[in-house]
Amino acid sequence: MSRIIDYAGLYPPANLSLEEAFKNFLDYQDSPDAWMLSRFVIPAKRLPHLTPLMPASASELSFTALGRSGASADEFLSNLKLDLDEILAFRETHRATVIVDMFEAALPSSTLTDATQTHDLIKSASDLFNKNGITVFFESPPGEDWQPRAENLIRALRKLKDRHVGFKLRTGGVTADAFPTTEQVSWTIAAVRDAGVPLKCTAGLHHPIRHYNDSVQTKMHGFLNVFGVGVLAEAHELSQAQIQAILEDENPKNFTFDENGFVWKGLRVATSEITKSRLFATSFGSCSFDEPREDLRNLGML
């Protein structure tokens, strides 16, 4: 679980101010659990607002920037250039104290129905960002016909997997309809695994194990379910049905760690295989860094 949580305190349900969220992120750098912390999630257009908040003597801080997106391919590409300008200016201002090496953007739904247009759009985007050392994770917006659009996107990413690109999956939100089904998540994990495409998740993964949540009146996915099955699927070539079974497991006793690796119900993945698989199962964005750790402690895992 090294560097698995991208801290997204700006986003719901936390909805903190930039000052509060960034102060938390700086404080977490000194936490005994800082090894679990990855990047600070921020819209690219808000990067200039961080400059007055930067500490005088900061150790290296990592960021993932979110794009403006757009309603059409032309608007998307135009906004990408604005986002990249913001990132490069921020990096130039702070030089060795910041790393902005990841960018996330939702593609216009209208472009994802055409395989050629999808391919051309992500190729253009990766051309812009990869030459500046930035990996791009592309999202298929939720809604009707999500899976065919996601399939087009993953197919296009597979053709460009020699580049630094990946697939972003939205795993929840603040309402029940924002949570994808276990069928959708298992399909995604199998699809990106088969395509050799990195996966990043966002939202709804505050807790390690799948459970029913009263506040959103639905079952929330667990990050141990999602990332545990991610590394197991990569190591053991699990079928979609096997992946779905692990995603739906609500018994924390079935998920164990020891000095040799990770085990689910006797299905083991060695530490060396986890290290390899984490190139595929990258990280997840969470508006809380405290809840995931508190739950892991309550389960005796931290």
For residue 83, pLDDT over 90 is answered with: yes
Q: State the average pLDDT for the chain.
A: 94
pLDDT class of 158 with cuts at 50, 70, 90:
very high
Rounded CA gap, 283 and 36, in Å? 10
Q: What band does 144 get if pLDDT is binned at 50, 70 and 90? A: confident
CA Rg value for the chain: 19
CB contact at 8 A, 122 and 138? yes
Residue 254, token pair as written in the block: 């079935």
**Cβ-based neighbours of 121, under 8 Å, separated by 6 or more:** 73, 76, 77, 107, 111
CATH of domain 5-298: 3.20.20.70
What are the beta bridge partners of residue 5?
Answer: 37, 284
Percent of the chain whose pLDDT exceeds 70: 100
Check the CA dihedral 152-158-162-168 and report its sign: positive
* Contact indicator for 200, 249 with CB cutoff of 8 Å: no
Report pLDDT digits (tens) over 98-124: 999 999 999 999 999 999 999 999 999
In one-letter notation, the amino acid at residue 161 is: K
Contact (Cβ atoms closer than 8 angstroms) between residue 260 and residue 273 = no
Write the pLDDT tens digit of every residue in 39-48.
999 999 999 9
pLDDT digits (tens, 9 = 90+) for 21-57: 999 999 999 999 999 999 999 999 999 999 999 998 7
Q: What is the mean pLDDT of residues 223-239?
A: 95
74, exposed or middle or buried, with CB in 10 Å at 0-12, 13-18, 19+?
A: exposed
Q: DSSP class of residue 72?
A: S
What is the arithmetic mean of pLDDT over 182-204?
Answer: 96
Torsional class of 69: left (φ above 0), alpha (ψ -120 to 50), beta (otherwise): left
Neighbours of 195 (CB within 10 A): 18
pLDDT higher than 70, residue 58 = no
Give CA–CA dist 221/31, Å, rounded: 26
